[in-house]
Amino acid sequence: MITRKNFLKHASVLAAGSLLPLNISGDLFNRFNGQKITILYTNDTHARLDPFPENARRFAGLGGIARRASLVKKVRAQEKNVLLLDGGDVFQGTPWFDVYGGKVDLELMTEMQYDAMVVGNHEFDRGLEGFAEAAQKAGFPILASNYLTRNTPMHPHVQRQIIKEFDGFRIGIFGLGIQFNGVVDPKLYGEVISQDPVSVARRGVESLRNFHYCDYVICLSHLGFQYQNGRIDDITLATSVEGIDLIIGGHTHTFLDEPVIIENPSGKKTTITHMGHSGVRVGRIDIDISGIGQYTAIQSRYYIIDGQS
């Protein structure tokens, strides 16, 4: 196991994946000429703070939060405007969670300067009191727009949305947690109420676009990529809600080598991306905002976290 003392020591990563040019439209002004936003993201890390053992059947030797931290530090040294986001299910999966209940994960993510995460279903695994105890270690926003948390221990630790600004370019970020039915034990979520993600997303996008004047909108989603049983997923969200530029998803442990591009109700494009699970990959999307009146390109890649240089 890694120690906190050694957490941010030098560790190397091997960059992998292809560079994919994608056309995205939006409303920009020439004040953004020459700018770029880099978005790094993880999902479903599941308390995998150490690399997988070398004798593991899958992902042998891959992962490890110290290596992820090294990568993030390297990218921040290279790029001016960087966002670091997570698609939920930070909790559950290794003895780190069994012993510390998520506190160490959130403390180390704070040291990495995450900008936000969404609540995953496993964030309820120790009930609302357990979540609240761990969330005190989070020095970054935890988002869930569709969860009504008033009068619960969760309430002080969850926000609906945030806004990040880079040289006048405003990015609105909101979170959607999975619907509880059949996924989370009622004893664990208590008095928290899960609302319809689609209707909540529509209201959230309207607020971010028209009230907060955001140029770009990101949804951190723990709904899951795609289902066949009628449950709301990221595909449904993208096809039902206009105004979302990027969905960073989680829950279904889907490894997408390339983002999926969906036409939303306005006729514009919504990008969906997932990075599997356990922190063996870190995703990256670069938004080119140098054009006037449109996003000229999105470039997408991922890094395999394997400890080689």
Residue 4 lies in a domain: no
Q: Which pLDDT value is given to residue 307?
A: 74
Residues 62 and 55: their CA atoms lie apart, in Å, by 11
CA-wise closest residue to 246 among 91, 71, 89, 40? 40
The predicted-structure confidence for 200-248, as pLDDT tens digits, reads as follows 999 999 999 999 999 999 999 999 999 999 899 999 999 999 999 999 9
| Domain CATH code at residue 179 | 3.60.21.10
Residue 2, in any domain of the structure: no
Contacts of 215 (CB under 8 A, 6+ apart): 26, 27, 28, 169, 170, 171, 289
Closest CA to 21 of 297, 283, 268, 285: 297
The Cβ-side half-sphere exposure at 219, using a 13 Å CA radius, reads: 37
The Cα 221–Cα 86 span in angstroms is 9
Q: Which domain holds residue 264?
A: 16-304
Domain annotation covers residue 166: yes
| 11: in domain | no
As to burial, measured by CB atoms within 10 angstroms (0-12 exposed, 13-18 middle, 19+ buried), residue 228 is: exposed
* Residues 148-180: tens digit of each pLDDT: 999 999 999 999 999 999 988 899 999 999 999
Q: How many domains does the chain have?
A: 1
pLDDT at residue 19 above 90? Answer: no
3-state secondary structure of 200: helix
Structure tokens at 271: 């990008």
pTM value surpassing 0.75:
yes
**Distance in angstroms (rounded) separating the CA atoms of residues 95 and 260:** 34
Q: Is residue 242 part of a domain?
A: yes
**CA separation, residue 250 to residues 87, 170, 230, 254, 296 (Å):** 5, 24, 17, 7, 27
